[in-house]
Structure 1
């Protein structure tokens, strides 16, 4: 049995907001509940509702900028920067800028739609 797995066919999560989500490892792709690793591209002027997920999320910015509203703080990350947001933290992710934002997101435990708790 091999002690490694090369992922070359990530699961492309269907979206309606123009955001590209390619999950390389996680529940949808490899049935791994411990971690999810996704490559994402958020289009200009993209945003999603506030949420309070039951998982920690790490984000590493490859290109562009991404805005985070974390409880009362507004933070803008640029290429080469990363952040860890603890689980059970109210956060909003957005790209209010004029260029796409490409980044890697890692969730521990794995991203799970039933544990995101997005606000309406």
Structure 2
């Protein structure tokens, strides 16, 4: 029953010739750990289901190495709670070049510098 479902997922077995190994090969992305190579396409079509059946039996017995069944979350390294909280936006920024003595002072006193600059901007508008 499990083999029939797996073979239905895979569809037709169409081996390809691998020049590097000089043999006919078949594997499927649904079962990347099951691969069969043989001397002819007919041999591959005939024997691949046997290897797939053995794989399914071992999987059902939980007798596979941990790295074979390891599934990644697919978040690309994103950890729970990482990143910007939802609903918040980054303040738009722009790069400018200033003399080094000014940038050194801004780096030493970032919050004071930003509030001082905004205060100067407000005075200019008035």
Q: TM-score range by the shorter chain?
A: under 0.3
More strand per residue: 1
* Higher RCO structure, 1 or 2 (CA under 8 Å, sep 6+): 1
* TM, length-normalised to structure 1: 0.20
Larger radius of gyration: 2
Task: Give TM-score scaled by structure 2 length.
Answer: 0.20
